[in-house]
Structure 1
Amino acid sequence: MKVAVVGAGIVGATAAHALLDEGHDVLVVDREGPAAGPSGGNAGWIAYTDILPIASPKILRQVPRFLVDPLGPLAIRPGYLLPLLPWLARFVAAARPAAYERSITAIAALQALALPAWTRLAGQLGCEALIHRRGGLYVYDDPAAFARADRLAARQRELGITVERLGAPDLRRMEPGLSQSVVGAFLHPDIAHVSDPRQLTTAVFEAALARGAHFLRRQVTNVAVGGGLRLACDGADAISVDAVVLAAGAWSKPLAASLGDRIPLDTERGYNVSFPGVTGLVGRPIAFEGHGFVATPLDTGFRVGGAVEFGGLSAPPNHARTRAIHAKARRFLPALPDFEVGSVWMGFRPSIPDSLPVIGRARTSPKIVYAFGHGHYGLTQSAATARLVADLLADRQSPIDLAPYRPDRF
C-alpha cells in the first residue's frame, strides 16, 4: 500500500521503518521536519522500567501542594485551568484505584516490548552505537520515601525487571559527583539512554529515506475518507493514499476529531537546560525522585530537565521554570555549570489522562491508524508502537492486547 505517516518525530520515524519492512510505499509528512519537537529535546531515556501512570491516588494528594508553587514539578498556567477541566476530570477518574491498576497493567505490557524493539531496530539500521546501556538510577533524599519505594521495586521484580537497592555509600562509590543529600537509590542496570535524542531521531528518519521512504514538508489539515483516503495539506494538492498513520504528537487531536474521534489529548510542557560538551558529572542517567526532574549524560553534553506545565500550545515558554529545575539540580550535583552557560528548551509532550498512548484504528476507516499520546515515553515506546501499527495495518494478531490503548476508550 501507499501509506502516509503524519509526523516526523520518533514515533513517525520508527513507524516508517516498520511499514517499509512490510513492503509498503511510505510517505512521511510533517510541517517542520524530523525531531522538531520533543523527539529532539527529551531526556534521552529508554525508560522501559517505568510502569506507574501519572494519574494515581498519590499524585492526587500531592497536587494541591504542587499547585501553590508556580515553579514546582506541576503547574497550570493562569487562564488555562478552564480549558483543561475536561482533561483534569478524566485524570481524576484515571487515578481511582481500579483504573490505576488497569493502567499499570497496560503500561507494563507496552514497556515490556520497548527495549527488545529498540534492540532489533538499532541492529537493523546499524546504529547500535547511538544507544548506551549503562543503567539508570532513581535517587532519593527523603529516607521515608526511599523506604516506601521498596514496594515499587518488588512489583517491578514481579514483572521481570531487574532492580537493585543501593545505600548511600554504594551510591556515592558509583556516582561520586552526587552530593551528601542523597540517602539511597534504586539501580536499573538494563535501562538504556541514547547519544542524543535529536541525533537518534534524525538518524532513524534519514535511514528511512535511504530505504526508499519519501518526505513532504507540509502541514496536514484534513484526512478525507470516501472513495479512498486523501490528505489535504497547506500549499499542496491533496494526496491520495491507501492508508494513514497519524503520529503527529501534540498536534494529533484536531485531525482525530475531524475523523470522528474525540481524544482527550493535552500537552505537558516540558523544560530543560543543556550544557554542550560537558561530560563526567555522572556516568549514567539519574532521576531525582520527588523533585520532578532527571539528568542525562548525553554524548553531546549534559542535560537536566523535566517538570509538567499545562498551558496549551500557544503560550510562550516560562524559563523561570527551567532556572528552578537547575537550582534544584545543583543541590544534588554541585559541579553542575552555571545556568547562564546552558541552552534552554521547552517542548510539548502529548499527554492522555490515563498515561496510555492511543494506538488503534480511527472510527471512520480501518486504514487510518493512530499512534500518538505517549507523554513522557515517546522515545521509549516508539519502536514497539511502530510494530503494533504495522500489525494493525496487516490485520495481524498483536503480541499484546491493544484494547487498553484503543481510541474509543473514553
Structure 2
Amino acid sequence: MSGESGTQIDVAIIGGGIIGICAAAFLTEAGRKVTIFDRTGICEETSSGNAAAFAFSDVLPLAHKGMVRQLPKWLADPLGPLSIPPAYLPRLLPWLIRFWRAGAPAKYEAGLAAQAGMMKLAEAEWMDLLDRSGTRSMLREDGSLELYESQAEFRASLPGWAARARFGIGFRHVEGDDLATWQPGLSPRFVKGTFVPGWKTVADPKLLGKAVWAYAQAKGARFEMARIDRVTANQDGAALTLADGTIRQARHLVVAAGAWSHLLARQLGDRIPLETERGYNTTLPKGAFDVKRQLIFSGHGFVITPLETGLRVGGAVELGGIERPPNYARSKALLQKAQKFLPGLDPAGGREWMGFRPSLPDSVPVIGRAPGVQSVVYAFGHGHLGLTQAAATGRLIRDLVLGQTPPIDLAPFSPQRF
C-alpha cells in the first residue's frame, strides 16, 4: 500500500468528514496526491447526521442570536435548546467567558463581515463543486421557513433580519393563511414566519459526502482507516503516529478532525479553545409527515428537514465534551415538540443519533497555517456550519497548500486570534 512507513505522502488529511472530503476534492483536482486518515470511515460521524442545510444566509455569530439573553431560561430546562451537564461546567467556564465576550458590540461587525464573506464564497464554491462532481441532483432549493409563536418572538428576530438584509440576503415575513400555504398542517400556535428563498438543503448529507469522496477518489485520493495518536511537524513536513504504532510521513498535513482537532493542535504547541456542541436528532421514515421545506424553530433550537432518506428532527445544543455518553432523552424531547408543532406527525420507527459539532467561541472556524509551521494547515471549528462552509474551506485549504492567494482575507480565521 502506498503511504506505508518509508514513503512520503504528499498531503495527509486527518478527518474523513465533509471538510476533509472537500479538501481532498480540491487538492486532487489541482494534481496533488492526497491520503485521508479517519478512525471510522468517510462521512461516517458528525457529517453523516447533520440537518442537511446549506445555510448560506446564516451569517449571525451564535453569541449574537439572542443566545446570551436566552441562556438562563434555556439552562433551567435540562432538555431545552441548550444544556450543560453540571459536572462539565468547571471545564467549560473559560470557553463560556470567551463566548460571552464574543457577543460584545465591538466584535459584532467583524464577526458578521467575516461570516458573510465566507458564506458568499461557500455558495459559489459549492455550486461549482456540485457540477464538477456530478452531484447537482442532490441539491434542493425549496428555501426555509422560520417560525415564531408570538409577536414578541418575531419582533426579537427583526434586528437579525436587518443585518442579513445589509448583505443582500433575501427573505419574506409571512403570517395568517400564508403560513398554511408554505407548510400545511402547522399548529396554530405559530403566528408568524420568515421564508428565506435562498436557503438550500441536500437530499442526504451522508450520501452527498460519499459522492463527493467518490469524485475525489476517481482523481486519485486515497483513504486509510486509522486513528492518529500523535502528530509532530517541522518546516519540511509532518509525522503521523497511528494507533498501531506505525508512522506516516507527509509533506503537508491538514488537520480537519472536527471536535478532536484541538487535541492534535495541542501536540503541535497550539492551544485553540474548541468545545463540543453535542447535537441530537431522530430520523423518521419518509411518510411521517409531508414537510415541504426545512422548518426552523429558533425559539426551541431545532429544525425539521425533509430528506430523500426520511424526515430528520434535530438540533439543540449540549455543551458536554467528547467523552460523556449520549443523553437520548434530548432527541426524544425534540420529537415530542415536533408532534405538538406538526399535529399528525407519526413518531414511530425513528433512528436516534448524536454528533459532535466543533465550536469556537466566536462561531468563526480556524482556517490557516499552524503558527510557525509551514507544513501544517488547520481547518476546523465550523460549529453548525460544517456542511455549509465545506466547499469554501476546501478551496481555501487548496490555496494554502499550493501557496496561492486565497479569495478572502483569512485574518479573521487565524489560529492565532485567541
TM-score range normalised by the length of the shorter chain: over 0.9
1:134 counterpart SS class: coil
Say whether residues 1:197 and 2:172 are aligned partners. Answer: no
**1:137-174 CA distances to partner (integer Å, 9 max, x unpaired)?**
11111212213333322322221111112122112112
CA distance in 1 between counterparts of 2:318 and 2:115 reads: 22
User: Matched residue of 2:287: which SS?
Assistant: coil
Q: What is the match of residue 4 of structure 2?
A: none
Within a 5 Å distance, the mapping from 1:257-336 to structure 2 comes to 257-278=266-287, 281-336=290-345
The answer for the alignment partner of 2:70 in structure 1 is 62
Query: How many angstroms does 1:276 deviate by?
Result: 2.5
Residue type of the partner of 1:158? R
Alignment of 1:185-224 (within 5 A): 185-224=193-232
Query: 1:252 — aligned with what?
Result: 261
Which residue in the other structure is 1:228 paired with?
237
Give yes or no for the alignment of 1:107 onto 2:112: no
Mean Cα displacement is larger for which, 299-308 or 140-149? 140-149
Q: Determine the C-alpha separation between the residues in 2 that align with 1:148 and 1:277.
A: 34
The answer for the alignment partner of 2:85 in structure 1 is 77
What SS does the aligned partner of 1:162 have? coil
Q: Distance in 1 between matches of 2:156 and 2:328?
A: 33
CA–CA distance in structure 1, aligned partners of residues 118 and 199 of structure 2: 15
Q: Identify the residue that residue 35 of structure 2 maps to in structure 1.
A: 27
1:399 aligns with 2:407: yes
What SS does the corresponding residue of 1:270 show, helix, strand or coil?
strand
Q: Which blocks of at least 5 consecutive residues in structure 2 are unaligned? A: 1-8
CA contact (8 A) 1:281 1:335 kept: no
Compute the displacement of 1:280 (Å): 5.1
CA distance in 1 between partners of 2:73 and 2:298 (Å): 16
Structure 1 residue 388 and structure 2 residue 390: aligned?
A: no
Give 1:9 shift. Answer: 0.3
Task: Name the count of aligned residue pairs.
Answer: 409
CA contact (8 A) 2:84 2:320 kept: yes
Deviation, 1:18, is: 0.8
How far apart are 1:32 and its partner, in Å? 0.8
The answer to whether the aligner puts 1:52 opposite 2:52 as a matched pair is: no
Q: Does 1:376 align with 2:384?
A: yes
Residue deviations 1:67-123, cap 9 Å, x none? 111111011012100111111111111111112332112111111112211111110
Name the structure 1 match of 2:3: none
Q: Distance in 2 between matches of 1:208 and 1:29?
A: 14
User: Equivalents in 2 of 1:391, 1:243: separation in Å?
Assistant: 13
Query: Per-residue deviation at 1:223?
Result: 2.0
Query: 1:163 aligned to 2:171?
Result: yes
SS at match of 2:374: coil
Question: Which residue identity is paired with 1:380?
Answer: T
Other structure's SS at 2:117 match: helix
Residue 292 of structure 2: SS of its match in structure 1?
A: coil
**TM-score, with length taken from structure 1:** 0.97
Please state how far the C-alpha of 1:126 moved relative to its aligned partner.
0.5
Structure 1 residue 203: deviation in Å?
1.3
1:190 Cα deviation from its structure 2 partner: 1.5
Structure 2 residue identity aligned to 1:381: Q
Matched, 1:37 2:40: no
Q: Which moved more, 1:55-64 or 1:299-308?
A: 55-64
Separation (CA, whole Å) in 1 of partners of 2:329 and 2:250: 45
Q: CA–CA distance in 2 between the matches of 1:90 and 1:50?
A: 21
Q: Is the 8 A contact 1:15 1:390 kept in 2?
A: yes
AA of the residue aligned to 2:142: R
CA RMSD between the two structures: 1.5
Q: 2:238 is aligned with what amino acid?
A: L
SS of equivalent to 2:416: helix
| Alignment partner, residue 142 of structure 1 | 150
Cα shift at 1:57: 7.9
Determine whether 1:98 maps to 2:98: no
Matched position secondary structure for 1:341: coil
Task: Give the unaligned 5+ runs of structure 1.
Answer: none
Q: Secondary structure of the equivalent of 1:318?
A: coil
CA distance in 1, matches of 2:344, 2:121: 37
Which stretch shows the higher mean deviation, 304-313 or 144-153? 144-153
Kept in 2, the 8 Å contact 1:140–1:182? The answer is yes
The one-letter amino acid paired with 1:307 is A
The runs of at least 4 aligned residues of structure 1 exceeding 4 Å deviation read none
Cα distance in 1 for residues equivalent to 2:165 and 2:383: 24
The answer as to whether partners of 1:264 and 1:352 remain within 8 angstroms in 2 is: yes
- The partner residue of 2:246 within 233, 237, 242 is 237
The separation in 2 between residues aligned to 1:168 and 1:282, in whole angstroms, is 18
Shift of the alpha carbon at 1:38?
Answer: 1.4
Does structure 2 conserve the Cα–Cα contact (< 8 Å) formed by 1:57 and 1:95?
no
Q: Once the 2 structures are TM-superposed, how far is the Cα of residue 392 of structure 1 from its aligned partner?
A: 1.2
- Cα deviation for residue 304 of structure 1 reads 0.5
Under a length normalisation based on structure 2, what TM-score does the superposition of the two structures give? 0.95
